[in-house]
Amino acid sequence: MSLSGNIGSPSRDSGTSGNSSMAGSDPNIPRDFSRLSLFSSGTSSTTQDEHFNCVGHAEHSLFCMKKYLQIGKLCDVVLIAGQNGQRVSAHKLVLSAASEYFATMFTGSLSNNDQREITLVDIDGDVLQAVVNYCYTGTIEIREDNVETLLTTACLMLLHEVVEACSRFLSHQLHPSNCLGIAIFAEHQLCTSLLNEAKAYTHQHFMQVILNQEFLQLNLEQIHDLLSSDDLNVSSEEEIFSALLSWIQHDPIERKKHISALLASVKLPFLSPTFLSDQVEPAVENDPICQKLIMEAMKWHLLPERRFQMAGLWTRPRKATIGRLMIVGGMDSNKGATTIESYDPRSDSWTIFHHMNGKRLQFGIALMHDKLLVVGGRDGLKTLSTMECLDLETRTWTQLTPMNTHRHGLGVAVLGGTLYAVGGHDGWSYLNTVESDPYVAVCGAHAKSTLFSGCCRLKRTSLCSRWT
């Protein structure tokens, strides 16, 4: 049997131990023959390396470590809960890999490698056991009866994912009866995301929050911070003053002395002179600081020409009392938008409020009470004289009496309860006339528009005559 025959066409028996031993014992066969034959392929001189990846290896290793933990094998540390003395065995390596707190404890410069038992002060035994199990499995049970203790422990042990999970759990439990307590708890634990969510919820539901015991139990600093917020969802400053009075009346003997410090958190210039005289003054009695604040608020009403000099945080309205910005129609990719968008400064967000009945460009708009008036404009090439009214409460449209003149590019304003349509273009020429409708305040029940022909030239600055 020749060497080339063995190499080129091995028989079925060539794989037996007899043939294999022949290659190793024949002095004519090079020592590296078998290895070279495995990695050589024809005349190719290239070698392809392979990187093997065992899927699930890390999970399987942790699973095995958990098994060793359950049977008490290879454990090198015992954690003792300070509250009830419960003992929890573990592996230092696993705890250190899962928690920066344990990594510092076991590997830091002050660590004692020979210390096998470590007492963790103020730690609950059940929560400690749950946290150690989490280090091995990545899962933990969060319940209403353990979430606060678990969050506190997770913050201490720098288990950031558990902190975030507990924060999400508590944010889903927010209610007017507990949002203040959750906010205070989150502040103590330095949980910024939960604190922001709890504050936002409190501001949004302020009028329901003040009806609950948590509000009445706030301390002086907490009630001052809350009432000073510009984000409170209130319709008027009177509601802030009423909330302040309810807090004081819960414990008048102890809290009445703080009224001067808290009255500054109420934006008194936005209270009417009647309310200041009939409600605020009797409540503060003869407190000199409060009397000075009331006098400053009265000056805001009595001396409007000096308001610029008095402007400050005290005269800046809360976001919810400003109202909302409405954007009506305009030009878009479809050459004419029909949407009405609303901007809420308190939430800093835009929403689609409603839609116009049809395409309308270069129209005039005015606001009268809770009615939005859309006047004139053009729907393409045709100039319009029509007028529509949107009730902002019911969100319904009403067709009103049209103007006497078709106008686009006009100016519209309300003065003394009368709606004026000024100038514009009728499709042929620019207009210098003004129309008015004195009864448009009640949509659908008003007289026919009256044309003031030539009563006001657009180049003149004088006012047009009164409608009669």
Q: Which two tokens stand for residue 322?
A: 């400003």
Phi, psi of 386 (to 5 degrees): -75, 160
The residues pairing with 23 across neighbouring beta strands, listed in sequence order, are none
Which residues lie closer than 8 Å to 187 by C-beta, 6 or more apart? Answer: 195
- What average pLDDT score do residues 232-237 get? 93
For 452, phi then psi, to 5°, come to -95, 90
Backbone phi, then psi, for 89, in 5-degree steps?
Answer: -80, 155
Residue range 254-292, pLDDT digits in tens: 999 999 999 999 999 999 999 999 999 999 888 899 999
Q: What is the DSSP secondary-structure string of 107-160?
A: HSTT--TT--EEEETT--HHHHHHHHHHHHHS-----TTTHHHHHHHHHHTT-H
The predicted pLDDT at position 40 comes to 53
pLDDT above 90 (res 411): yes
Residue 431 · residue 376 · CB < 8 Å: no
Q: How far is CA 457 from the centre of its chain?
A: 51
- Per the listing, tokens 């499709």 go with 427
pLDDT at position 31 is: 55
Q: How much is the pTM?
A: 0.71
Torsion of CA 451, 457, 458, 463, to 10 degrees: -80
| % of the chain beyond a pLDDT of 90 | 55
pLDDT for 26: 55
Per-residue pLDDT tens digits for 129-181: 999 999 999 999 999 999 999 999 999 999 999 999 999 999 999 999 999 99
The predicted structure's pLDDT at residue 417: 81
What does the pLDDT read at residue 78?
92
pLDDT value, residue 447: 36
Task: With cut-offs at 50, 70 and 90, classify the pLDDT of residue 5.
Answer: very low
Q: How far apart are alpha carbons 35 and 151 in whole angstroms?
A: 60
Region of 454 please: left (phi>0), alpha (psi -120 to 50) or beta: left
* DSSP helix/strand/coil, 200: helix
Rg (CA), the chain: 40
pLDDT averaged over every residue in the chain? 83
Q: What is the pLDDT of residues 12-41, one digit of tens each?
A: 444 444 444 444 455 565 555 545 455 555
3-class secondary-structure state, position 20: helix
Domains and CATH numbers, the chain: 57-186 (3.30.710.10), 218-319 (1.25.40.420), 324-452 (2.120.10.80)
**Measured distance CA(42)–CA(45) in Å, rounded:** 9
pLDDT digits (tens, 9 = 90+) for 198-221: 999 999 999 999 999 999 999 999
Q: Alpha-carbon distance 181 to 461, whole Å? A: 60
What are the pLDDT digits (tens) for 68-115? 888 888 888 999 998 888 999 999 999 999 999 999 988 877 666 778
Distant-in-sequence, close-in-space partners of 129: CB < 8 Å, separation ≥ 6 = 86, 88
Mean pLDDT to the nearest integer, 117-131: 92
| Residue tagged 């409020």 (tokens) | 353
Going by C-alpha positions, the residue among 125, 151, 63, 133 that lies closest to residue 95 is: 133
Q: What is the predicted pLDDT for the residue at 39?
A: 53
